[in-house]
Amino acid sequence: MPLPRRGVLTGWGSFPIAESDIYRPEKIAELAAVVTSNSTSVIARGAGRAYGDAALNGGNRVVDMQRLSRMLAFDSESGLLRCEAGVTIGEIIDVFLRRGFFPPVVPGTQFVTLGGSVAADVHGKSHHRDSSLGNHVTSIDLMLASGEVRRCSREENSDLFWATVGGMGLTGTILEVELRLRRVESAWFDGEISMAANIDEAIETFERTERQYGYSVAWIDCAGTRGSLGRSIVNLGNVASRQSLPPPLRQEPFKVPPRMHPTVPFNLPSFALSSLGIKTFNTAYYAMHRAGPKLFDYQTFFFPLDAIRKWNRIYGTRGFLQYQCVWPLSESRAGLIETLEAIARWGGGSFLTVLKKFGPQDGMLSFPMPGYTLALDFPITRELMEFLDRLDEMVVKRGGRVYLAKDARLRPEVFRAMYPKAGRWLEIKRGVDPENRFSSNLARRIGLPGGE
Amino acid sequence: MQRLLILGATSPIARSLAMRFATEGASLFLAARDLAEVERLASDITVRTGARAVSGVFDAAEFYFHATFFEKAVAELGGLDGMIVCFGTLGDETAAQVDPEKALAILNQNFTGAVSLITLAARHLEQQKSGFIIAIGSVAGERGRPKNYVYGSAKAALATFLQGLRGRMARAGVHVMTVKLGTVDTRMTWGRESPLTVAPEAAADSIYGAWKRGAEVVFVPWFWQPIMGIIKLIPESIFRRVNI
């Protein structure tokens, strides 16, 4: 069996931290040796881009999957790509965009692994049209606790498939994923920027444009209050057809301008993100934008934060928490107003606040549901935990839920109230992993599997 | 178009090197001990680059099979323009220092196996009067140390072998390059990283660059050359007392 490295890990939010034996297999047999060894529990970890404790396993074992990153088959007729779990979304774009294919769903960063993306069932700006990544996954090879590799899909072991998509790595270790890439004519997005003076205008913009635009997202200025509560910049777009590109770009439609990649060199001091700093930034950012048509390259459109490497360091060593919640459609407006008002009253402020409309969704532990989702991030302070507990109560009351891939503090009873299919998920989990060999800090914290 | 045989292809450095050559349009025969792994790698290279990559199995210590294996690989490629030797293993040094069988196994994986396969390739390339051989050695071969002298001596022997071969092959226009590799971030060094550890992709880039400019001996990363230069100068009596 390969040797571990004893090390301290955190998620992207730098909170919490956990010490584990970390393995990094370079071959399938090495992975199997780690998974099947009669030792402590194990969780797979991709690029470490989950914000909280999903890929931590304090006192237990973590398997870094990044070296199992081989692309195994591609069919240019169907767009079906089979790869190992450690391949990143960015690698898929690098290899396939110039051939006219793009991942069907991309999250806000391209530095995530495919295995992690399936385990978190990530969504993107096109959820209202495309649903989450799992909707485009055709099959998964899952390594079970016994070392057996089980193929699951909609047809074969379908329960295990839907428990694994969004299952946070707890049904087994995702070894291979097959997904259908989308055919695109260019690397550009033809769209517009729309300014919304308040939350009702923002919602109205999403509703009005959802058929017209496949991709939509709004950035909310959290400094707005009362009549301008929820004022936001709505980005809308579709993949640009080759013909619609300006002539100079038409020659090489898959070529985009190179990006500068400044890196945040060290953890910034905590006052950098004081509530005053957050509000100033938000007000200025809102004032910088004007409504109108716009052509975006895919990196600016999908991955604005990827331009700044290690941007999580702006929050300093204390780290930050992401809080992303969703409400059912009928409760969304009230939920949004209630939450934005609560944040304004609380005064702490969220640095980046993002609003998006979700469409239909499958999966047992997948986060999305038809309705509106709000993503917030907060530098960690003493008062924050208590405040987020209050937000949880408000979300549960309206039948909503929070996103496990970003979570670091949800309580077990709240989790169960938010995820009604957790019971069904647990039955499947117990069936494939009766000894609970796959576990993580997240799993233990929210009580998966938990004694009943 | 280059036709290349890569031995020990499943190592992370070999993978990156193979990808570099494949991106430039080379067609590859990838060989390693584990067929399932090398097949995955071949698929990976073909999917990513569109290059032709076929796979085969060999074991450095199974000398009797080397000639047949080599002929098969050359036939499969339709000729040979270069061979890259990436296999080698640290083995269990502690056990090898007291068990001759284990010591010899390390020598076979790092030296005699390489000699056998390189000799076959050298003969082929010498006759055709063109081509190249790249072999990956180690800075551990620069000076014997109590910690890894079995492995180190095999790599030292490999370097000397290549040095002589280079002289002979130069007359036939065949390029022989020795890579003296420092610590690279692979399973060999996992858990023992130092500030001097580099990513396999970076190491492969340096090796590819050195090959492109026709280097004969290259330290990867470059800073190991001055480091080992100094370490070699330390007198034996002092070296014994410092625990390097």
Report the alpha-carbon distance of residue A176 to residue A151 in Å, rounded.
Answer: 9
Burial of A96 (0-12, 13-18, 19+ CB in 10 A): buried
- Other CB atoms within 10 Å distance of the CB of residue A431: 12
State how far residue A5 is from chain B, nearest Cα, in angstroms: 4
Sort out which chain B residues have CB atoms less than 8 A from A2's CB and list them: 187, 190
pLDDT in tens, A166-213: 999 999 999 999 999 999 999 999 999 999 999 999 999 999 999 999
Residue located via tokens 């999966």: A363
pLDDT attached to residue A350: 83
Report the alpha-carbon distance of residue A385 to residue A408 in Å, rounded.
Answer: 10
E strand or H helix at A247: helix A247-250
pLDDT in tens, B183-192: 999 988 888 8
Residue A253 and residue A166 share a domain = no
Q: What is the torsional sign of CA B111, B117, B118, B123?
A: positive
User: Is residue A201 included in any domain, yes or no?
Assistant: yes
| A-B contacts (CB, under 8 Å) | 46
User: Is residue A448 included in any domain, yes or no?
Assistant: no
Q: Are strands A182-183 and A292-297 parallel, antiparallel or unpaired?
A: unpaired
Residue A244 and residue A109 share a domain = no
Residue A210 and residue A124 share a domain = no
B191, A74: Cβ pair inside 8 Å? no
Sort out which chain A residues have CB atoms less than 8 A from B191's CB and list them: 3-6
Chain B's closest residue to A26, CA to CA, is B187
Residue A207 and residue A103 share a domain = no
Of A168, A184, A200, the one marking the end of a domain is: A184
State how far residue A95 is from chain B, nearest Cα, in angstroms: 6
Residue A260 and residue A393 share a domain = yes
Catalytic residue chosen out of the listed positions B64, B149, B151, B208: B151
Give percent of chain A with pLDDT exceeding 70. 98
Using DSSP, state whether A95 is helix, strand or coil: helix
Residue A277 and residue A135 share a domain = no
| pLDDT beyond 90 at A317 | no
Q: What is the mean pLDDT of chain B?
A: 95
pLDDT in tens, A349-396: 788 899 999 999 999 999 999 999 999 989 888 899 999 999 999 999
State how far residue B191 is from chain A, nearest Cα, in angstroms: 4
Residue ranges of E strands in A86-165: 101-102, 137-143, 149-153
pLDDT in tens, A95-145: 999 999 999 999 999 999 999 999 999 999 999 999 999 999 999 999 999
Sort out which chain A residues have CB atoms less than 8 A from B186's CB and list them: 26
Sort out which chain B residues have CB atoms less than 8 A from A95's CB and list them: 47-48
Structural domain containing residue A81: 71-184
Dihedral angle over CA of A105, A109, A111, A115, nearest 10: -40
Residue among B48, B90, B186 with most chain A CBs within 10 A, to mutate = B48
CATH no. for residue A257?
Answer: 3.30.70.2520
Give alpha helix (H) positions in chain B. Answer: 12-23, 35-49, 66-77, 93-96, 100-107, 113-128, 149-170, 200-212, 224-233, 236-239
Tokens for A51, please give them: 């914000």
Report the alpha-carbon distance of residue B22 to residue B24 in Å, rounded.
Answer: 5
Using left for φ > 0, alpha for ψ between -120 and 50, and beta otherwise, residue B131 falls in left
Residue A388 and residue A244 share a domain = yes
User: Is residue A45 included in any domain, yes or no?
Assistant: no
A70, B44: Cβ pair inside 8 Å? yes
- C-alpha A64: how far from chain center: 18
Of A184, A212, A233, the one marking the end of a domain is: A184
User: Is residue A444 included in any domain, yes or no?
Assistant: no
Residue among B23, B34, B39, B44 with most chain A CBs within 10 A, to mutate = B44
DSSP, residue by residue, A339-396: HHHHHHHH----SSEEEEEE-----SS----SEEEEEEEEE--TTHHHHHHHHHHHHH
B12, A74: Cβ pair inside 8 Å? no
pLDDT in tens, B56-98: 999 999 999 999 999 999 999 999 999 999 999 989 999 999 9
* ipTM of the predicted assembly exceeds 0.85: yes
Of A26, A72, A81, the CB nearest to B187: A26
Which one, of B99, B101, B88, lies nearest residue B188 by Cα? B88
Q: Are B61 and B107 in contact (CB under 8 A)?
A: no
Using DSSP, state whether B213 is helix, strand or coil: coil
- Other CB atoms within 10 Å distance of the CB of residue A312: 21
Residue A144 and residue A246 share a domain = no
Sort out which chain B residues have CB atoms less than 8 A from A141's CB and list them: none
State how far residue B223 is from chain A, nearest Cα, in angstroms: 24
Give percent of chain B with pLDDT exceeding 70. 99
State how far residue A69 is from chain B, nearest Cα, in angstroms: 9
Residue ranges covered by each domain of chain B: 3-239
Of A3, A67, A74, the CB nearest to B47: A74
User: Is residue A425 included in any domain, yes or no?
Assistant: no
Residue A353 and residue A269 share a domain = yes
Burial B171-188 (b: 16+ CB within 10 A, else e): eeebbbbbbbbbbbbbbe
| pLDDT beyond 90 at A77 | yes
Residue A373 and residue A342 share a domain = yes
Report the alpha-carbon distance of residue B241 to residue B244 in Å, rounded.
Answer: 9
Label residue B22 by pLDDT band (50, 70, 90): very high
A4, B47: Cβ pair inside 8 Å? no
Q: Are B21 and B207 in contact (CB under 8 A)?
A: no
User: Is residue A38 included in any domain, yes or no?
Assistant: no
User: Is residue A440 included in any domain, yes or no?
Assistant: no
Residue A78 and residue A172 share a domain = yes
Query: Any chain A CB within 8 A of the CB of B12?
Result: yes
Residue among B13, B187, B193, B201 with most chain A CBs within 10 A, to mutate = B187
- What value does the CA radius of gyration of chain B take, rounded to a whole number of Å? 18
Q: What is the mean pLDDT of chain A?
A: 93
Residue A378 and residue A256 share a domain = yes
Of B40, B191, B193, the CB nearest to A70: B40
Tell me the average pLDDT across B108-115.
Answer: 98
Domain count, chain A: 2
Q: What is the torsional sign of CA A177, A180, A185, A191?
A: negative
The type of residue at B4 is: L
Residue located via tokens 């609560």: A342
Label residue A452 by pLDDT band (50, 70, 90): very low
B44, A72: Cβ pair inside 8 Å? yes
DSSP, residue by residue, B76-125: HHTS-SEEEE-------HHHHTT-HHHHHHHHIIIIIHHHHHHHHHHHHH
Which one, of A60, A65, A189, lies nearest residue A118 by Cα? A65
Write out the residues of chain A at the interface with chain B, using a CB-CB cutoff of 8 A.
Answer: 2-6, 24-30, 67, 70-74, 81, 84, 95
B190, A73: Cβ pair inside 8 Å? no
Domain B3-239 listed as CATH 3.40.50.720: yes
pLDDT attached to residue A450: 64
Task: Tell me the β-bridge partners of A362.
Answer: none
Burial B11-42 (b: 16+ CB within 10 A, else e): bbbbbbbbbbbbeeebbbbbbbbeeebbbbbb
State how far residue B24 is from chain A, nearest Cα, in angstroms: 15
CA atoms within 13 A on the CB side of B188: 21
Chain A's closest residue to B36, CA to CA, is A28
Which one, of B62, B60, B146, lies nearest residue B110 by Cα? B60
pLDDT attached to residue A273: 67
Of B12, B48, B191, the CB nearest to A95: B48
Report the alpha-carbon distance of residue B121 to residue A197 in Å, rounded.
Answer: 73
- Other CB atoms within 10 Å distance of the CB of residue B66: 17
B151 an active-site residue? yes
Residue among A8, A22, A34, A71 with most chain B CBs within 10 A, to mutate = A71
User: Is residue A49 included in any domain, yes or no?
Assistant: no
